[in-house]
Amino acid sequence: MAKGVLVDIPKCIGCEGCSVACKLWNELEWDQQEKNKTASDRAAEPNNGLWPEEWTSINRYDLQKNSSSVRRYVKTQCFHCEEPACVSACFSKAIQKLPEGPVIYDQKLCVGCRYCMMACPFDMLRYEWKKAVPGIRKCQMCPTRVANNMEPACSSVCPTGALTFGDRDELLAEAKKRIKEKGYIDRVFGENEAGGTSWLYISDTPLEEMRFRTDVTTNPLPSYTEGYMKATPMIGVSWAAILAGLFVINNKNKDPLD
């Protein structure tokens, strides 16, 4: 059964233990400039605090609730769509969706076209612009751990229960139970967005005030693009053949001494 993670936003205290666990497990580099940024700094960035070496980010939002000031922290990373647009867009098969839930990336198969970045409705993929041999970087949802029925590194260290790992169907039921019991906003983000995601969010404050894309279609995005993307490799091969033919024709009757 597909796994997922339920994020209970009001329970997050912004300790950033999940971010540290992510870096340690995935052996990501520590960037001093990024390390010095606060959660509110990252919330204000266009990229939500995600960088090639920052696969998860804790962002702080100061909001109003019932005429009172409240502070909310939001864990941001790839949502691992049920039917990912990035997988559909990747004609080299570098990105794949595993049956257990994670959407994974294999740099050895990547051709660097960045179609996956353009396809993602949540803008969660990052490109290694500064590297000689760049690739895509994103949360992989700890696939080896999940395959062995272990929690992702991030949720395994959460001290408050803000992150709950389990079967996606059971997490959906738990999310709706908490919404009813705690008076949260009646919406599970990720239940239907873009056809559904493995990461689910519940909140007591409006999601759009915390930069969630609440306008995303509920239809799986590959249904819009798959037919076109499947033709991409053939188009590339066809153009290569046409250009090679033109080169041969153009040089066929030339004098070798010209």
Q: Is 146 annotated as a binding residue?
A: no
Q: Is 138 annotated as a binding residue?
A: no
Q: Is 142 annotated as a binding residue?
A: yes
Task: Indicate the SS3 state at residue 201.
Answer: strand
Q: Is 81 annotated as a binding residue?
A: yes
Which residues are CB-contacts of 94 (< 8 A; sequence separation ≥ 6)? Answer: 105, 106, 107, 108, 109, 110, 111, 116, 136
Q: Which domains, and CATH codes, for the chain?
A: 1-251 (3.30.70.20)
The whole-number pLDDT of residue 223 equals: 75
Residue 130 and residue 45 in contact, taking contact as beta carbons nearer than 8 Å = no
The whole-number pLDDT of residue 42 equals: 82
Element (H, E) at 27: none
Nearest by Cα to 136 from 84, 211, 184:
84
Write down the H helix ranges in the chain. Answer: 17-26, 32-35, 39-44, 85-89, 115-119, 143-147, 153-156, 168-182, 222-252
Residue type, 55: W
The terminus-to-terminus CA distance of the chain in angstroms comes to: 68
Query: Beta 3-8 vs 95-97: how paired, if at all?
Result: unpaired
Q: Is 173 annotated as a binding residue?
A: no
The whole-number pLDDT of residue 73 equals: 97
The whole-number pLDDT of residue 64 equals: 93
d(CA 172, CA 117): 28
d(CA 106, CA 135): 9
Q: Is 132 annotated as a binding residue?
A: no
Q: Is 236 annotated as a binding residue?
A: no
Q: Is 47 annotated as a binding residue?
A: no
Q: Is 104 annotated as a binding residue?
A: no
Q: Is 24 annotated as a binding residue?
A: no
The whole-number pLDDT of residue 242 equals: 62
Q: Is 116 annotated as a binding residue?
A: yes
Q: Is 86 annotated as a binding residue?
A: yes
Q: Is 139 annotated as a binding residue?
A: yes
Residue 115 and residue 230 in contact, taking contact as beta carbons nearer than 8 Å = no
CA distances from 202 to 148, 212, 239, 240 (A): 27, 12, 48, 50
The whole-number pLDDT of residue 244 equals: 59
Q: Is 90 annotated as a binding residue?
A: yes
Q: Is 115 annotated as a binding residue?
A: no
The whole-number pLDDT of residue 31 equals: 76
The whole-number pLDDT of residue 203 equals: 98
Q: Give the pLDDT means over successive 10-residue stretches in the chain (258 positions).
A: 97 97 95 70 82 95 94 98 97 97 98 95 95 95 97 98 98 98 97 98 97 94 68 53 60 58
Residue 9 and residue 204 in contact, taking contact as beta carbons nearer than 8 Å = yes
Q: Is 248 annotated as a binding residue?
A: no
d(CA 77, CA 122): 10
Residue 102 and residue 85 in contact, taking contact as beta carbons nearer than 8 Å = no
The pTM for the full model equals: 0.86
